[in-house]
């Protein structure tokens, strides 16, 4: 926990109430091991009736949380900006330290014996950490689309998927995105573009959209937003679904997303094969540890 004050600031009663409510939500999710984005915090406060569901309320919350962190009222590690990060070379204390790190990171592909080769794709980069928590736990890679996927990244995925097909494995994208005109169309776009290219390689793939669906919206009741009339797919969305509201994936609780992803992956898994491959991984890691111990390095 890191509540470090850098400024002196007095907050009005209304602002103090919002800060207190925000810290309760933050503490609740940190106890579960989750760190929220500002957008996720906003939706949790909207769902609890603390603030209204409108853009100016979101903007005000952003300013308020920023000031509260500077004043030492909100933990600096409680809100993540998942779109910006520092990159740097890894450093080691000794040769033995790097070998021990290699032992800890050593992993075989736990899906190499499976008939399916899954990947989890999420529309928003801001949700990458939430999605990765469940997917990586089951050794499934995660890709952040950041909206419509570029041609370059589609081609790279096509190359991966073509190789899977060559090895007798069926590529599958487990997809999570917003329920809005463009969010729904992204699934169609990916499926069409990728299979058109995979056809050249004698391969094909499938997409399994697991969120955000109308059934989930009815079940979890996330705060709605008006559909943007400027979206070129607005008319088709309203005509097909008969609604003028849309919902963001960020509004789902992290644990709900975790459960959706975990269940979807388990449905694709042959558990016996998975466990056997993990057992082989443990055996090879033990061999690596023995080599390190016998090397007697500093």
- Across 104-112, average pLDDT: 94
pLDDT digits (tens, 9 = 90+) for 223-266: 999 999 999 999 999 999 999 999 999 999 999 999 999 999 99
Q: What is the mean pLDDT of residues 83-92?
A: 81
With 80 as the cut, is the pLDDT of residue 148 above it? Answer: yes
pLDDT of residue 294: 87
Residue 296: what pLDDT? Answer: 79
Alpha carbons 295 and 298: distance in angstroms, whole number: 9
Kindly list the distances between the CA atom of residue 232 and the CA atoms of 55, 187, 220, 227, 237, in Å, as whole numbers in the listed order.
Answer: 21, 16, 28, 11, 10
Domain 114-269 has CATH 3.40.190.290: no
Q: Which of left, alpha, beta for 81 (phi over 0: left; psi -120 to 50: alpha)? A: beta
Q: Give the whole-angstrom CA distance, residue 38 versus residue 282.
A: 39
**DSSP class of 179:** B
Kindly give the interhelix angle for 271-295 and 95-105, rounded to the nearest 10 degrees: 170
Omega before residue 212 within 30° of 0, cis = yes
Those residues whose C-beta lies under 8 Å from the C-beta of residue 193, and which sit 6 or more positions away, are: 154
Any idea where the domains of the chain sit in the sequence? Answer: 13-70, 114-269
Confidence of residue 1 (pLDDT cuts 50, 70, 90): low
188, 182, 181: which is closest to 244 by C-alpha?
Answer: 181
Residue 298 confidence (pLDDT):
77
């Amino acid at each position: 926990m890191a509540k470090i004050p850098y400024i002196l600031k007095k907050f009005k009663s209304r602002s103090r109430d919002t800060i207190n409510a925000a810290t309760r939500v933050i503490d609740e999710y940190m106890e579960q091991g989750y760190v929220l984005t500002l957008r996720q915090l906003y939706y949790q406060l909207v769902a609890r009736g603390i603030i209204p569901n409108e853009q100016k309320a979101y903007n005000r919350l952003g300013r308020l949380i920023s000031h509260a962190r500077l004043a030492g009222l909100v933990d600096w590690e409680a809100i993540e900006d998942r779109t910006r990060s520092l990159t740097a070379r890894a450093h080691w204390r000794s040769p033995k330290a790097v070998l021990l790190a290699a032992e800890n990171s050593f992993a075989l592909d736990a899906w190499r014996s499976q008939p399916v080769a899954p990947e989890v794709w999420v529309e928003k980069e801001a949700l990458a950490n939430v999605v990765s928590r469940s997917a990586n736990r089951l050794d499934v890679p995660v890709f952040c689309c950041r909206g419509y996927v570029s041609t370059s990244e589609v081609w790279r995925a096509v190359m991966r998927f073509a190789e899977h097909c060559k090895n007798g494995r069926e590529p599958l994208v487990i997809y999570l995105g917003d329920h809005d005109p463009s969010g729904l169309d992204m699934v169609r776009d990916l499926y069409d573009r990728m299979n058109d290219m995979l056809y050249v390689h004698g391969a094909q793939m499938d997409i399994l959209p697991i969120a955000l669906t109308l059934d989930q919206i009815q079940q979890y009741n996330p705060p709605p937003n008006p559909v943007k009339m400027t979206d070129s797919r607005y008319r088709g969305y309203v005509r097909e679904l008969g609604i003028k509201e849309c919902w963001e994936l960020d509004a789902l609780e992290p644990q709900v997303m975790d459960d959706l992803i975990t269940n979807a992956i388990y449905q694709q898994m042959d558990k016996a094969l998975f466990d056997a491959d993990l057992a082989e991984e443990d055996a090879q890691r033990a061999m690596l540890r023995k080599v390190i111990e016998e090397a007697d390095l500093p």
